[in-house]
Structure 1
Amino acid sequence: MTHLDSRGLSLSTMSDRAAKYYREGVDLLLSAWPGAAETLDEAIAADPDFALAHAARARLHAIRSELAKARARIASAEAIVAQRGTERERSHVEILSLAINGQSAKALEQALAHAEIWPRDVLILSLPLGAFGLFAFSGMADHDQARVDLCERHAGHFDADDWWFLTYRGWAHAENGNVAHGRALAQRGYDLRTNNANAAHALSHAMYEGGAHDEAEQLIANWLPGYDRTGTLHGHIAWHSALGALERGDPERALAIYADYIQPSVSAGMPVNVVSDTASFLWRLKAYGHTVPAGLWEAAAGYSRRYFQNAGFAFADIHMAIIAAATGDRAAVEQRVAALTGLIEAGSLAAGPVVPAICRAALAFAEENYAGCTRILEPVAAEVVRIGGSGAQREMIEDMLLLALMRSGEAVKARALLDHRLHRRPSPRDTRWHALLAA
């Protein structure tokens, strides 16, 4: 009997139990839902020679930044698939191995080629997609469009009720500016599988991009209690709610959400999320004129020292620099800038000069050198997209430029930027700032 995965592709296992747990485990992985690890472990226990189960488990280890475990597990998958596996499975395992072992450019190239032959191999198709996918972290300036193009290229291969594809297709469109269409797709994906953190995340992003801040907060308030705190996106989705509280001028509520769900001591999120969410929330809190309670920056710095010490991961680099700048560690920022400059000179930093520029601007802003911050950021503002992440995450850098313009007396430029933002996406905070400039 030939066993199939959840999208109809054959699996090299003779075990009914292994195939069943693999299908369930991959769907839990793709929905960022607790239980994926245990379910995939059941698949491996049922068939220790099931290469794809080992590969999916390796992918989950990598998502959690458990790199030693991920590399050991993918090595097991490679050894097995060389002896027992189809052409698709060998390609599948090889691509995951490339991604896990830091060869992201080659992994992206091969994932796209793989999708041309096996578009319904969703664990591979998922790799280029999302805010932290291979496209987002490729250094490309047009990665938002690239995700849309990839989804549309393969849309005909998916059923109209494929919850996973609807979620990522919707997120791609919303991030690329087609917000109404993206929201409708994400809503359909969410309705089909509500126990899907990626769908709740995609839908909240679409609402945010459309200026529906109250709806986004209500969605999260209703949905988050049903998502176990061990879920990898629990803290990050709460971060969106905290930003909503800041939008409406309620720092007390924002800080309560941060204390309960986001700060490093309570979050079970991926390290890249914990570092970026803590840095960006605390930066916004202070930049918007509120007090950061004693110890919060130091706690974020203490956590971040366990990760991303080596420069070269652009998205992490800028958040590490923001934490260092906020805690007065000028030397750490300067060391990171020097390391990033060396990588650029060696041709090995895909995102390019915008990364050290943002780090230097963050230091200037923290030191209240607002004119210096604007001189650094203005020339690279159009390149910020290269760092990856989502529009909501990158908005912090735009806020940095906007506030630096306001505080250095560049009112005309600040109003122009605010006018553009208000046209693109209504925001209570931008409306308040616009009124302040007009006074």
Structure 2
Amino acid sequence: MACVKSFISHLFVVQAWQDAGLGLSTASNEACKLFDAVLTQYATWANDEGLGGIEGCLSKLKAADPNFTMGHVIANGLELIGTGSSVRLNKELDSAMRTMMTLSKSQPLSEREKLHVSAPMGKGTGAACDLWEQILQSHPTDLLALKFSQDTYFYLGYHIQMRDSVARVFPFWTPDVPLSSYVKGYYSFGLMETNLFDRAEKLALEALAIDQTDAWSVHTIAHINEMKAEVKKGLAFMKETEANWKNSDILACHNYWHWALYFIEKGEYEAALTIYDNHIAPQCLSSGSMLDIVDNCSMLYRLRLEGIKLGDRWDNVLKITKKHTKDHILLFNDVHILMSSLGAKDHKTTNELLTTLQELAKAPCEDHELSLAPSLGLPLCQAFMEFEKGNCDKAVDLLYPIRYQLIQLGGSNAQRDVFNQLLIHAALNCKSKAKQNLAKCLLRERDVMRPNSPMTERLMRKAAAVHSMA
């Protein structure tokens, strides 16, 4: 695996993969180099124009050796995990998965490759992770297995597993192994999501000392400063490092989202909207990626909770989200898409999202996400709807009992904080004195976790005002 900045002539060929203990079943050096190029860009969260970008490399990879099974594995895995696609919706992907399976049975593959073929059939569930972990037990430097498992654990809300998966292989990622500094970044993120902030920051800074363009390690530190409400430190860090990560096209929008969160925390809403208008909204329009869509919806909804007028921004987002209304691949995505239809006051789209999700949730199936719809996804969506209607007591009744289970919907602690904010705002606006008091309890809890948070202080003042009027 070569550094993302290297030319394609420096990427691993057949013999190099064998020497690394990760042999690939193809005789094509070109296919091996292109496999490396795709993996490297995926691992570093950046399309490299010099390599042709991920999509360009995948196209060339297929042409270099159409029967290269691991080429099919990485292409299908990225479609399933990287883009949030589904064989339920995508007939081409379903066909590609079948082709991969047929090829794998016609060739003498290694046991590691056979496990790689089987894992995508788990469709991004714990079963798939079990197979990637099996690979990592005997091949700890298999970056594809590590990265696929990391992303899947994240989507499942398995933060401890995400952390420990890297911990088990971390000693093998010595400085001489290509991309080892990025694995430091993966580990730091898992440590951060399990609230081991000091250790996480140390590793992320070590990774950045090796490669300052590591947008993922920047992202980890952005999370740490946000979770600790260290706003001044967070703003300074993002400004100082912007030139290093702004060209990491897959993650830049998300890093700008984190930057804007600090301004919302401070109550500097115009500054947050400037970042939104200059970086977050345009990226969503050009990429259409679900990560960028989620960032857009989440950013606007947080501002909506703060009472900020957003003009036609919701309408612009809805133009992108509307086509995903009936996808129902991830409940986490569904609730963000719902934010956009509620924000744009598009009742037809809102009802369509809810009714199609309800129908899918009724049918018996093995789909992990849909199995969570009755107990988590639908009550959460309904809570948003009730809040928008002004039925705050009902919103609290729906959201409060499931608050600790929402981690199962995936996403990061920072991303899911919008649900905490909704609960607090709903409780503050309840007619019931008991629920108004709950709001104060939730704010005391938040104050312990994020000391000196300007947002918490603002909300506490509001809670005190509500109490004095009661």
Taking structure 2 as the reference length, the TM-score comes to 0.81
Partner of residue 414, structure 2 = 392
1:325 and 2:342 aligned = yes
Alignment of 1:111 onto 2:132: yes
User: Alpha-carbon deviation of 1:358?
Assistant: 1.0
* SS at 2:149 equivalent: coil
Which residue of the other structure, out of 369, 381, 393, is the alignment partner of 2:391?
Answer: 369
Q: Is the 8 A contact 1:28 1:34 kept in 2?
A: yes
1:285 is displaced (CA, Å) by: 0.8
1:402 Cα deviation after fit: 0.3
Residues 153, 128 of structure 1: CA spacing in aligned structure 2 closer, same or farther, 3 A cutoff?
same
**SS of corresponding position for 2:404:** helix
Q: What value does the CA root-mean-square deviation take over the aligned residues?
A: 2.9
1:406 to 421, 424, 428: 428
Q: Does the Cα contact within 8 Å between 1:120 and 1:158 map onto a contact in 2?
A: yes
TM-aligned CA distance change 1:208 to 1:9, over 3 Å: same
> Which of 139, 151, 155 pairs up with 1:137?
155
- SS in structure 2 at match of 1:289: coil
What per-residue deviation string (whole Å, max 9, x for no partner) do you get for residues 273-297 of structure 1? 132112111111111121112x211
Counterpart in the other structure of 1:208: 226
**Amino-acid identity (%):** 21
Instruction: Tell me by how many angstroms 1:325 deviates.
Output: 2.0
1:7–1:174 Cα change, 3 Å: farther
Structure 1 residues 283-292 or 3-12, which shifts more? 3-12
Native 8 Å contact 2:288 2:320 kept in 1: no
Match of residue 9 from structure 2: none
Check if 1:435 corresponds to 2:452: no
**Structure 1 residue corresponding to 2:115, chosen from 80, 83, 91:** 91
1:372 deviation in Å? 1.9
SS of 1:159's equivalent? coil
**Residues 40/336 of structure 1: CA separation in 2 closer, same or farther (3 Å cut):** closer
Structure 1 residues 62-95: Cα deviation after superposition (integer angstroms, max 9, x where no partner)? 5245766656666665555442532212322332
2:169 to 147, 150, 154: 154
- Match status 1:355 vs 2:370: no
Measured in 1, the distance between the counterparts of 2:428 and 2:307 equals 13
Deviation at residue 6 of structure 1 after TM alignment: 9.6
Would you say the 8 A contact 2:44–2:182 is kept in 1?
yes
Q: Distance in 2 between matches of 1:195 and 1:377?
A: 39
Q: What is the CA–CA distance in structure 1 between the aligned matches of 2:132 and 2:270, rounded to whole Å? A: 45
Q: Which moved more, 1:154-163 or 1:203-212?
A: 154-163
CA deviation after TM superposition for structure 1 residue 12, in Å: 3.0
Matched, 1:192 2:190: no
CA gap 1:284/1:92 in 2 versus in 1, 3 angstroms: same
Aligned counterpart, 1:287: 305
Give the structure 1 partner of residue 445 of structure 2: 420
Contact residue 282 and residue 292 of structure 1 kept, 8 A = yes
How many Å apart are 1:404 and its aligned residue? 0.9
Question: Residue 315 of structure 2 corresponds to which residue in structure 1?
Answer: 298
User: Which of 98, 118, 125 in structure 1 is aligned with 2:146?
Assistant: 125
Distance 2:92 2:240 in 1: 35
39-48 or 235-244, which moves further after superposition?
Answer: 39-48
Consecutive unaligned residues in structure 2, runs of 5 or more:
1-13, 466-470
